[in-house]
A and B are shown apart, each in its own frame.
Chain A
Amino acid sequence: NAGVTQTPKFQVLKTGQSMTLQCAQDMNHEYMSWYRQDPGMGLRLIHYSVGAGITDQGEVPNGYNVSRSTTEDFPLRLLSAAPSQTSVYFCASSYSMGGVQETQYFGPGTRLLVL
Chain B
Amino acid sequence: LAKTTQPISMDSYEGQEVNITCSHNNIATNDYITWYQQFPSQGPRFIIQGYKTKVTNEVASLFIPADRKSSTLSLPRVSLSDTAVYYCLVGPHSGYSTLTFGKGTMLLVSP
Contacts and interface: CB of A to CB of B under 8 A. Distances in A.
Interface of A: 4, 33, 35, 40-45, 48, 58, 90, 92, 97-101, 103-109
Main secondary structure of the interface of B (DSSP, over half): loop
A98 B43 contact: no
Interface in B11-64: 31-34, 36, 41-46, 49
Contact of A97 (B33, B49, B97): B97
Interface of B: 31-34, 36, 41-46, 49, 87, 89-104
Contacts of A48: 98
Given A33-B98, A100-B31, 8 more contacts: A41-B103, A42-B101, A45-B98, A98-B97, A99-B32, A99-B94, A101-B92, A104-B99
Contacts of A108: 41-43
